[in-house]
Each structure stands twice: as structure tokens, then as C-alpha cells.
Amino acid sequence: MKKFLCLIINVVLIASLMGCTNTGKTNIKVPTKKVDGKVSVVSLDIMTTNKFLYNVIKDISGNRHNVQFMFKNDVDVKQFEYTTDSINNVSKYNIFMYLGADFEPWASDFIGKLDKNSVATVDMSRGTKILDLDNKVQYGNISVTKNSYYWTDLSNYKTMLVNIKNSLEEKDAKSRDFYEKNFATYIKKVNDCEKDFKAINDKLKEYTFVTEDSSFDYFFSYAGLDSVKVSADDLTKPDTSKNLQDKLKDKKKICYIYSDDKNLQMYNGAIQKYNMKTLKFITYDENSDYINTIKENMKAMKELIK
């Protein structure tokens, strides 16, 4: 009887030890679920910092995984102050994806406190070409020096898509063909948009674009457009701003580029004084797929040059 009990106990111990073994690269045990009646489909819990990134991830992952986001707009995400609860909550996920390039000023410190035995972290800006801000921006005790809106350069955006695809395939290698197919479908849409943009880009180059907003820097660089960076003070006092006058004195076709409608009224004096056309260019829209955002931007560009 004692030998029998010992045998049972040994079997239980061995089974328990085997259940604790994990050979994954990031020491994360990923569960499986049924999809369309088929077993062994990996189910990932993914947390993103913002709705914009959430939308892109869903385009590549489909409805296969549980994808959540922390913030909708690009203001709240920058002002976030994390707590022990937020660290513990995010540590429960399989993957934490963030835009990087100082879009989340708190990310570096936050990630350092996550449980790396539970959650893998992926920086979407990895491999992209990042620009510096003209002047650093302060968020509490954190100084931000990088220009965050790198995806408005479509070359950077494509790199971001590759980062998403690769991170999903690393955790769900068996579904590689699924992600590759979704990626190919999505990247074709981006390439089609890029082709349409190149058809109108030459006419855009006839303009000098005026702005006080650094979020357009990547777009200007990508498109090879002439741009003039001025201060908000220059635009609110066009009659007395020598800087504005000097920068625009030899310019013939001038366009004020903006993303917030309130700026049109705020800087109307400068727009009228220098006979500027206007172009609304959206850099971040939490309620839209980025492909649609690109198309809306191109629609506005076509109105400008017609």
C-alpha cells in the first residue's frame, strides 16, 4: 500500500514539474482556443497604449486575439501618470505594444517595472527614422526630444506594420500564413495610397507650407516639400512679426497647414495678410483606420492643387 501511495505521489510531482516548464522566448505561456471549430489556435491578450495603434493591430490580427487600448487620443496618453495598479494590470497581458519615439513619455520607466516573465514589450518605432524636435517638450519631470509622429512618413509606417506582423508571428508561429496574408492585403492598400500621392506630389511642391506644428515634419521630409516653421506668436501677430515677413517675402504660393480647426480662426489674420491657402492634414485620428486618414488627407490635397 505504501509503495502504491509513493508511486501516485511521484507521478503527481512529475506532472506538476512538467506543467511549470516553459520554452518560449519570452517565458510566456500562451493559451489556445477554438476558432470555427478548430482547436489549437493561439489566443493572445494584447495591450496597446492608444486607439490609433489598436486599429492598425486589428487590421493585421483580425478578431483572433483580445486587443485592448489604454487611451483614445494623443493628449491623454502623453499626460498619463502610471500607478502600481496599471503596472500590475498590463503585466497580465501577453504583449504590450507602444508607438515609441517619445509618443508615450512615460513608457521607458513604465516598461522597466513590468513583469517580464509575463508580458513581452514591442516598440513600434523600432527600425524607423526618427527626427528630433526643434525644442524639447516637458511632461512633468520627463523631457521629450523626439518627434513622435513618424508614421506620417509612409516609409516609417510600413516599418511599423512589419513590427506588428513580426511580433504576432513570434508569439503565434503556427499562424504565420494568416498574418502574412493580412499584412500583404494591408500593405497593398498603403502602396496604392502611396502611388496616388506621388501622382499629385509635384503640384504640391509648388507651394510653401507654413506651420507652427512640428507634427508635420515627417510628411514634409517624406514628400520633399518646402516648409516654413514659425511660432504661434508670429501667426497671431502677423502685422508686427518680422520673422514671418522675412521668411515669406519671396514666396509666391503659400499654404497654411493645420490639423485643428480652431487654428483657422486663431491665425486668420496671418492667413489673410499673406493670402495663404489652407490644408487640413490629419496626423492622428483614433476613430479611423489610418488608410482612411491617408485618403482624407489626399482628398484635401487634391482640393488645394486643383
Q: What is the pLDDT of residues 58-98, one digit of tens each?
A: 999 999 999 999 999 999 999 999 999 999 999 999 999 99
Q: What are phi and psi of 82, to 5 degrees?
A: -75, 160
Cα dihedral sign, 280-220-256-71: positive
pTM of structure: 0.85
Q: What are phi and psi of 172, to 5 degrees?
A: -140, 65
- CA dist 157 and 154 (Å) reads 5
Of 114, 68, 71, whose CA–CA distance to 91 is shortest?
A: 114
| Res. 196: pLDDT tops 70 | yes
Look over the chain and give the mean of its residue pLDDT values, rounded to a whole number: 89
**All three cell numbers of 36:** 470555427
**In contact, 234 and 212? CB cutoff 8 Å:** yes
134 CB burial (10 A radius; 0-12, 13-18, 19+): exposed
**In contact, 183 and 160? CB cutoff 8 Å:** no
**In contact, 97 and 53? CB cutoff 8 Å:** yes
* Per-residue model confidence (pLDDT) at position 253: 97
* Per-residue model confidence (pLDDT) at position 11: 38
pLDDT digits (tens, 9 = 90+) for 274-294: 999 999 999 999 999 899 999
- The label of the residue with cell 498574418 reads 179
Confidence class of residue 42 from pLDDT cuts 50, 70 and 90?
confident
**All three cell numbers of 230:** 514659425
CA distances (Å), origin 209, targets 77, 220, 269, 295: 28, 9, 16, 20
Query: What letters, b where the CB count within 10 A reaches 16 and e where it falls short, cover 71-104?
Result: beebeebbebebeeeeeeebbebbbbbbbbbbbb
DSSP at 149: -
- CA dist 72 and 261 (Å) reads 19
CA distances (Å), origin 118, targets 24, 79, 167, 193: 11, 26, 15, 38
Domains of the chain: 22-189 (3.40.50.1980), 205-305 (3.40.50.1980)
109 CB burial (10 A radius; 0-12, 13-18, 19+): exposed
